[in-house]
Amino acid sequence: MPQAKYFELSDARREGFFNISEAAEASGVSAKMIRHYEEIGLVPKAGRTVAGYRIYRDADVHVLRFIRRSRDLGFTMKEIAGLLGLWQDKRRASADVKRLAAKHMADLDARIAELQGMRRTLEHLVHCCHGDGRPDCPILDDLAGAARA
């Protein structure tokens, strides 16, 4: 991100800078989240106009796009910080990237399995339920632990 080159916004635009909503549009990351990511240090502090407006270069937008894609794949902010570090390190080993991605994949697998377990139980209960005006209900019986009696 530009360090501290102060411009009027129109000057900045002429030099190829974007303001925050343009960066948000171009990257898919909301303006709110761009500010948040700057605050938590995920991205460097943006340059500013004399009015205090944030200004961004193509490269900055590219970083935001990286974050967007990473978020869409479910990586946590912490993991994304690690990925950004690797991306920007020309001496990185792809093994480190692979390890991080594989761990994330394992986490996803665990969560999927958990949700599928819930789904299976619910499918069974919903199937057993008449779903009419009567009060007897196997779903509630299960929740109340009657099935265990």
Which residues form the interface with DNA (CB under 7 A)? 8-10, 13, 19-22, 24, 30-33, 35-36, 46, 49-54, 71, 76-78
Which residue type does 76 have? T
Q: Is 78 in the site for a copy of itself (CB under 8 A)?
A: no
* Residue 48 backbone dihedrals phi, psi, to 5 degrees: -130, 150
Query: 29-38 — which CB contacts under 8 Å span 24+ positions?
Result: 29/64, 29/65, 29/67, 29/68, 34/64, 37/64, 37/67
Nearer to DNA, 13 or 62 (CB): 13
- Least spacing, CB of residue 146 vs DNA, in Å: 22
- Least spacing, CB of residue 68 vs a copy of itself, in Å: 9
Q: Is 3 in the site for a copy of itself (CB under 8 A)?
A: no
Q: Which tokens sit at 91?
A: 């001496």
**Could you say which of DNA, a copy of itself, none residue 146 binds, taking C-beta under 5 to 8 angstroms by partner kind?**
none
- Least spacing, CB of residue 144 vs a copy of itself, in Å: 5
Q: List the interface residues with a copy of itself, window 31-70 (CB under 8 A).
A: 62, 65-66, 69-70
Binding site for a copy of itself (CB under 8 A): 62, 65-66, 69-70, 72-74, 83, 86-87, 89-95, 97-99, 101-102, 104-105, 108-109, 111-112, 115-116, 118-119, 121-123, 125-126, 129-137, 139-140, 142-145
